[in-house]
Chains A and B, each alone.
Chain A
């Protein structure tokens, strides 16, 4: 197990290296002339040359072959050096360190995605179980419909519909952002998760207000994982319920509920755990759209604004960070199989 973990960790190195290379190249080669995009097409050649120099874009990309004494005095080496020192540079538009902004934005996305995943699990798993036990019933049919609609509804549209219904028409939930402005003013964060910070600071009204803001975007974001989890739970449960040992347990005269909970569920949930882990990528993708619809000040809106505003330092640092999180979560999911399924041995 330890050897497998180490091997997987080493295997991450080329992928992370590749991610940094893609981000580096995407911003330097494909866009043609960055200076035109920043300064506009009317900028004079001198202005553009000056900006190129300022950004260090006039230097060689990978190896300085013209001057072998300074072979590694190149853009990529500097870029990687800064990255390894966690120096992500300053935002071009906000003139603040990218890392500082990342720290402010990340908790908002964590709060949103983790809540969404909780909703998806809390609704999806029971729905799948009941659907499998009562196969062919009304519950089963509705579970299948939920599973189908969940993957077919564009979540940005669902977000807009919810905003209309709950915030504009019925006025029971706030339409966007994380907290009412008068509560947010002067409130000192601890973890950056308002729902928790409100309790830590002894201000339950902040927690309550944060929850009110959170529920709509989190539910919207949960739809796709909810659908996938419900579907997976149902089919996995059906497969297990058809096994011989379930029949044996029933034949022994065990109570139906004990058979389901102790014999079936434990085995059926294994593939579900896998599927839950795989939702991390979907949640991050979905978060970009959900955050946009609900003006949620997280990583998604931050990156989108940076990409649209051509704020390259943020794009570089942010995209690499998100990809890193994604890769690490996937690794943890892979490793968790070994703990959960004693039949799997990694060598």
Chain B
């Protein structure tokens, strides 16, 4: 929309004015901070890999086998004799090969969409359910608030990984509802290349564990603004409860939600990888980073350091990038810093 208004300084389009709002300011501050820039850069780079790798470099983990090239060092570290003998180019296997002779570089690349989707999906679920629960609890108050806060306290009383493990193992039972849900989701066209039912359950578990974090943010926002005049005014004007909640109250929690969601994506990626590492997430031969580490662990004693090194570095780079972005966002959106500007 590009309507314009006339002010003392002349005609100003509303679009220009809007850019000076909270989000415009935040965006500029994000780009000015070095952690924000680096984090954004790493994240965009990984998102591009996640989008384009499946298109440019189709990969079928089920048929990828090459036993003669089993457990080879990164090809640039192999001696020329070995490379000639096995007919390998200098950069053919930059990260080496695994126990089935698969190219680790290729598998690490194809792990990117899996982990990014897992992080994003997990946190989206936690945000939706958590903020709904928190908003309603804070708005309604009374017994609903008491029960909802009680449930959130209880979920927070378990160490996160332990709760996630318990939920996954319960939901992996063949008769459980979540198993059927996982089967259904992982047979959908695009998602099939990303999830298997167990990985889906792991994501669900991590999402449940993160619900109270967002529930608390939403609830505290509602309680903080519920009695402010503009909310009373909205109610007095006859605005319905749900509309007040979503149009007038919810926007207040967007900034802290966004920061927490970004940082939670990083945690969720580690948690899902950890569950896969424990055998409770992605299954073989899916190129999920945590799963690859679980496989690699069996060849550790044989000294195949490259097999454990690169999937782990991939997790670290991803989490680092997203954490930096989250830090940058927090600084950019923190109103206390804004006044110092």
Contacts and interface: CB of A to CB of B under 8 A. Distances in A.
Nearest to B313: A157
B274 A156 contact: yes
A224 B165 CA distance: 20
* Residue of B170, B290, B301 with most partner-chain A CB within 10 A: B170
Contact of B154 (A19, A30, A36, A303): A19
B92 interface: no
A57 B91 CA distance: 60
A37 to B, nearest CB: 5
Majority secondary structure, B binding face: helix
A319 interface: yes
A240 interface: no
A326 B154 CA distance: 11
Given A315-B166, A319-B166, A164 B175 contact: no
Contacts of B297: 160, 293
Interface residues of B, number: 48
Interface string A305-347: 0011010000100010011001100000000000000000000
Interface in B271-293: 273-274, 277-280, 290, 293
A292 B293 CA distance: 13
A1 B271 CA distance: 39
Contacts of A322: 158-159, 162
A20 B167 CA distance: 15
Nearest to A165: B305
A31 B171 CA distance: 6
B308 A160 contact: yes
28 contacts: A15-B157, A18-B150, A18-B154, A19-B157, A22-B158, A23-B166, A26-B170, A30-B173, A30-B176, A37-B174, A148-B320, A148-B324, A149-B320, A151-B323, A152-B323, A153-B319, A154-B270, A154-B273, A154-B277, A161-B312, A281-B159, A282-B159, A284-B162, A285-B160, A288-B159, A289-B161, A308-B169, A327-B157
Interface of A: 14-15, 18-19, 21-23, 26-27, 30-34, 36-37, 41, 148-149, 151-154, 156-158, 160-161, 163-164, 168-169, 281-282, 284-286, 288-289, 292-293, 303-304, 307-308, 310, 315, 319, 322-323, 326-327
